[in-house]
Amino acid sequence: MLLYNGKTRKFQVRDCLKQNEELRSHLEKLRLEQVSLLKVSNIATQSDGQTENSISNPPQMVIENISLKDQLIKEQSRSEGLSAEIMKLSAELRKAVHAQNNLARLYRPVLRDIESNLMKMKQETYATIQ
């Protein structure tokens, strides 16, 4: 039953990672869509008669603002991707450490037995030489 639960948990983690990836991709698309809508909105506002000397939102600042938002969105997506990769690698590391500890626990008695037998052989060899 424990093995079954372990496998079930493993599949649940894989499903969660897959869903996380899909959601991050969808979120990135929504963010990019939001920036493109801001760009379209800015172009429409400028074409409606807003002049370059407008005090409220100079076009230069609006363009820079949109550019910064676009860059921020890309960096957020990149950050989330790296964060997900770190979580995945951390899970793999924990799994590898667990496997290594299990192997060490399994082979420690065997290695002690081999070492003990080698010491006996060494002592027997010295005894027969003398």
| List of residues 6+ apart from 14 with CB closer than 8 A | none
How deeply is 62 buried, as exposed, middle or buried, from its count of CB atoms within 10 A (0-12, 13-18, 19+)? buried
Q: Is the pTM of this model over 0.75?
A: no
Overall number of domains in the chain: 1
What range defines the domain where residue 87 resides?
A: 2-129
Query: Measured between alpha carbons, how far is 20 from 10 in angstroms, rounded to an integer?
Result: 15
Helix/strand/coil for 56? coil
17-63 pLDDT, tens digit per residue, is 888 889 888 988 888 888 788 777 766 666 655 544 445 557 788 78
